[in-house]
Structure 1
Amino acid sequence: MTEPANATIKDIAHACGVSLMTVSRVLRGAPKVSEEKRELVMREAARLNYQPDPHLARMMQVVRGKKQQRVRAVIAVIREDVPQDGLLSPTYQYVPVEYIRRRAQGHGYAVEEFFLGRDGLTPKRLQKILHARGIEGVIVSPQSLQLPCSKLDYSPFAAVTFGNAMSSPALHMCAGNMTLGIHMAAEQLAARGYKRIGVAVTRWIVNRSQFGYSGGLFHWQHGLAPEDRVPLLLFPSNDISKGFEAFAKWMGEHQPDALITFDTHVPGWLRRLGLRFPEDVGFVVHDWTPKMKEFAGIYQRREHLAAAAVDLIVTQLSQHEHGVPEVQRQIMIPPQWVDGGSVRG
């Protein structure tokens, strides 16, 4: 018997001897269908070579969404407010809520920020608030070594996190590709005649990038003569203001002629050591933003990180996916080199 050229859910329902509603629920991953019927429907769909109509699927999502008045079209952005970690200073950059809101509005979602640790907001209390407001989508922005965000129960949510600071639970993740970023910056510096390129950051930054800084530096140095390889400096504290002695010792021992590091404190330390940039040392900001126009840097394009995170949330909600995924999806955004007066032309 010849199978239909363009099988429909009606064809699948007829082949299985079940209702159209049952087939529809199985194909969109909805709950409350027995495993036996689910396997039967999926087997017949494969045999009939069923191909869903994406335009129809999107329209049906809108129709179903209007029926679910309990669920609000709001994405929660979860931050952490733990001052003693030293991770809330201007030294550290996070994805601005404006970027997230801009993308979410394009999908028809509003955005609300919640700060764990501020005004007595605990993970348990936040869980109750999100449930009471019918919020199903959350974007997690870890900003503390204590990681109170890791104590939430993510089973009711479609969730995404920024970076790898919270490795457990392992949510879907969006991050900048800093292995590529460090290599890109090193190439730009080498093209300008710099030979001894050093990277000075904190362990928090390295871990959040999934070792992208150390990995990128190692990859670059692999092709250098041993005498030109400057070891990575990990500051002894996440509070950069406490790092001058370690920095001065590292500079004296290894004498890099170009640095990839923070925009705060380090420029002042270089002047304190009698060094000028770009005359004596090239200076590159590892996490450049448009407000740092006087420096060269690696631009991590956080507007694209925000867009990717929102898109992942919307995709999960449309597919009825909640909880910690079996396999974590990771979206890596390539950074961009930005020229500036802190390096030779």
Structure 2
Amino acid sequence: MNIKHLNLDSSLKILVTGGAGFIGSNLCEALLENGNSVKCLDNFATGKRTNIEPLLKSPNFQLLEGDIRNLEDCERACERVDFVLHQAALGSVPRSINDPITSNAVNVSGFLNMLVAARNAKAKRFIYAASSSTYGDSKSMPKVEEVIGKPLSPYAITKYVNELYANVFAKTYDIETIGLRYFNVFGRKQDPNGAYAAVIPKFVMQLMKHESPVINGDGSFSRDFTYIDNVIQMNVLAMTATQPEALNTVYNVAYGERTELNELVQLLKESLYNYDAQIAEIETVYGPQRAGDVPHSLASIDKAKELLGYNPQYNIRKGLQEAVAWYWENLK
């Protein structure tokens, strides 16, 4: 994604933690295209070398192999950087239910290490991946940043604790922080494999193999699916924000529309039909509902529009067309 129109100073040095992951590698790529110097910190627990392989040729790109659970690795990564884009985390609600201790170690202790390292290095701003899971059992729709419920999973707890820590550090240590509550991000480079694969790449791969996509529940659950380029835009806007009221707070990162899972499968079939007409005939299979799943998610993006000038360009249909084209070309 070309971000030059967003007027990010190309002389800035930026650290992307989890930079070999899905969101992180897309951020690294966009920043390098803008002319920025980019450091990538990753331990490759979930990130992939293939995601950043083309970037290694750039003189402005530096890969640091390290773990955010190790403070020394965090401090090494934060040396002489202007901004930290903290994407490193162990995602997935089911993973956190199966192994809450590791999720907490990475997402809470690792997050605190990164905050301390950024503060010590005098980084200008710490922008971090928060999560829509923080809304928990809140029934209000659409989700507004200031109204949350109780968490429904260990993962959701860890992401809420991140927000609390960031708030305290902003007040106590005078470091600027912005949290970005991502809503079901999808797009190029998102891994379709593994037990904790996100729903869109998983369904795409199943359909391309002429396998039935498996929906947990009856398919009526809905999500505010958010294409990766909308997320890149928000990260850049969080770096360029100057108004005091835009800082030291959290924002929803979404498109602001919700799509039921049954509808999602239909849209995927339509997008894939151009490549393989037989996919239209594949039946959907329904399995048991997953523990910890939030039934519906829909974001208000008014705050981001008002304070950051957020203007998402990709709705679900346009984003799926781009994503499917990438999967067909790279993974068929």
Question: Rg bigger for which structure?
Answer: 1
Normalising by structure 2, what TM-score?
0.36
- Kindly indicate whether structure 1 or structure 2 has the higher relative contact order, using CA contacts under 8 Å at least 6 residues apart: 1
TM-score (norm 1): 0.34
